[in-house]
Structure 1
Amino acid sequence: MERLDRTWLQRHPLPSPAGGDKNARGRVLVVGGAEFVPGALRLTGEAALRAGAGKLQMATVRAAAMSLAVLMPEAAMIALPADEDGEIAPDAVELLGERLKSCDTLVLGPGMSASERTEQLVASLLSSPSAEQTIVLDAAALTCASKLAGLVAAHEGRVIMTPHHGEMGYLMGLPPEAVTADPLAAAEQVARDFRAVVVLKGTETLVAVPGREPLLFEGGNAGLATGGSGDVLAGLIGGLAARGAEPLSAAGWGVFVHGAAGERAAAEIAEIGFLARDLLPSIPGLLAKFGR
């Protein structure tokens, strides 16, 4: 395994920041949320902008869209129909069609719950691969992809999957304990089966890509195991990909900076008890620091 550290970052620099055109800095579309967790997308969307993306669109259920739009005035908002459980309805894909074609990165899943209808939505959004687009699958979109390996593989390595051990177990049809017993084998198998970049989150985070040596990140702290932390990571990776970073570089940088933001929050607040939103203000400065 290769260590994911500052030496690795130096060998895999991020693209130089674009000039004054916000479109050139990348366009992110975040799809997710539900009536039960209306604020989840705020963390993901802000992380994408903090990572340097130029434009952000967020799509969530109509009941949550207005309040989220006020909370995130930097983003364009797309109100989607909901099903009887307050989740995004499958026919929402019709409203997302043109917007999906014009984004550089799609972040799909934060704040969503797994169901058969969610699987239909995920399958529809994955059905048109583009060599110019990166997709980050998180949370329910990730677990709903357990039967969609062929659709994910058709994107030829431009899908980044961000499971924790429980979600990885669901993807593989195994209990989480089996993943914990051999996380490296699990990450490499899913990376091969889905032909995707896999970020297996845990006390140590693994980044696996088919045919390449996996990465091991040992930073961060226990405080990152808090609600919303994964939403921040998904947005951070998505924002970096939108800026032009290749999927592996976006994943590696995202994991490292997310961990460093957790270390900074622990130093300034406490190791246990900082919030996921406390990570957000640190992201731009850390990217600048490690990019020198």
Structure 2
Amino acid sequence: MPEIGDVIGGRYRVLARLGAGGMGEVWAAEDAETGAPVAVKMLNPAFAAMARPRMRFLREAGVARAVSHPGIAQVFDVGEHDGAVFVAFERLHGASLATVLRAETRLPLRTFVALMVRLAEVLVETHRAGIVHRDLKPGNLFIHRSVSSDELELKLIDFGVSKLATAVDGLHTQTGSFLGSPRYVSPEHVVAPASVDARSDLWATGVILFEGTTGGYPHRAPDPARALLAIVHQPPIAIDSVRPDLSPGLRSIIRDCLKPKLSRLGSAVELRDRLVDVLRAEDPSLDQTLPPREPERGVSEMTDSLIPETVESLTGARAFSV
């Protein structure tokens, strides 16, 4: 792995280490040619010769390049440095939604719904391109604070386990393999991972909406394994029983996202339009803040360490207008 001052790929001068995950590290760097700030994600050399980790790492960069949208972190370059594969992408300033949901300073509900509108807009474009993310969760939603406008911008990150809806997926060919985050996967993802389509992303969005508005998951279980069993065999907790004070429109969206596959909300376009309607309705319930997140042991997100500003400053930034 590089050291401070090293130049990665002959172009990106390393400034600081931002964080680390199971397969690699993320570094703050400067483009030596343009002076622009970038982030460089490097795959640990130990995984470089392993087909599956390398495929996942390069897939993330490929998807980000294939879909041009301001809600996806822009990829500038892909290459190798001292035997390690790297991806250079735009430097983000802020925190993951996972961090924000667990912060003492509570995010306004109106801002949270506006962030979900932005997520739905990104899903509209990725689904049109035939790409299913398959790992939507708060840790993969980065809330970037724009320096120029002081507004919050949501960035969808980590397409490492995404798939083309029409492609045979090499990441799922091994017996017993499972990719995704257990608390957020759809029932069909658990039972038949190869059959996953865009509707699984809508399920995961429903889980995120439920989590943000209630502080917990729609399927309560003490560990990930039992969470998967609950998702397959039990109905989700009814949002109406937990948060009857929420606007009817928002509760209906959560219900429809968490329905069985064939009766689930129809598309990311419908999700976006209905969330926009919730914001435009100016329901008084949107003026409250999100409830405290229920404590959870062993939670750790690599993106949570990429926080140049405090969560307090994020929650004080202006929300989107729609």
**Same fold per superposition (TM over 0.5):** no
State the structure with more CA Rg: 2
TM-score by length of 1: 0.29
